[in-house]
Amino acid sequence: MPLIFFAAPTLWPEYRDLLPALLAEAGIAANVVTEAPDPAMVDYIIYAPSAPLQDFTPFTNCKAVLSLWAGVERIVGNATLTQPLCRMVDTGLTEGMVEWVVGHTLRHHLGMDRHIVNPAHVWDPTCPPLARERPVAMLGMGALGTACACALTALNFPVTGYSRTAKDIPGIPTTTDLRSALSGAEIVITLLPKTPETENMLNAESLSWLPRGAVILNPGRGPLIDDAALLAALDTGHVAHATLDVFRAEPLPQDHAFWSHPRVTVTPHIAADTRASGAAKVLVENIRRAQAGEPLLHLVDRGRGY
């Protein structure tokens, strides 16, 4: 009987009944605990990078660390973590991200803000272009980026994907040249992981490659964007608006310039959240796979950082 250490105490109430029930349904007799008196007896660790556990050295027989978060940048560099690490990819998280991205893309494409907030009662019958006339750049073509790109393509937006490694995705042209992806994009969406190579990827130089009046949506990682460079581009109007869901420091400090800037929308890291109902199924499937000697799902490549 495998011993599962649920090492994310604040999230335990959401999983307390659900996880054992799904394990039983999958035919896995397991003991799920929230304390591990003998770490050497633990077979699996269910983990959130914000959890108190930071030293994995005592868990000498642990087969896998299963993260509840899609992002693993807080844990992937932990030198004590030698066990296989799996990040969370579940349908609920993907659906939430797609809904946020599509919603804010349409908001900016249609110019909804000028109709929703119109204190002067200005009658402006200007129609927006059709979606097929609004180029979009999707920076990051992993599971989330690809799902969002496909959803926007289905609405007739011409989407160009950017990936640091070459990818062949039917119906979505993808490039490894960032300048090429940005140069014609009127809406840019960032869904890259945070790595040393992607930090400050949108900086003064790369922002200058955008056509004047482009819009940026960042539901990916805060450090992908150089904050000072973005503010400067917003001040000049080169970037017309930035809708940001993630930040270098969270919660976003009350005195941060993003809060008061007229061309910035702040959303409080809600674009995609791990929902227990879907995440528990992913956890159980990975435990089943490990017990059966099958490859784990969503295994993190330590060299790439995700």
The burial of 102, by beta-carbon neighbours within 10 Å (0-12 exposed, 13-18 middle, 19 or more buried), is given as: middle
Nearest to 77 by CA among 56, 101, 93: 56
Residue 70 CB-half CA count within 13 A: 25
- Could you list the active site residues? 221, 269
C-alpha dihedral sign at 245, 98, 214, 128: negative
Give Cβ neighbours of residue 92 (< 8 Å, ≥ 6 apart): 273, 274, 275, 277, 278, 279
CB 230 within 8 A of CB 239: yes
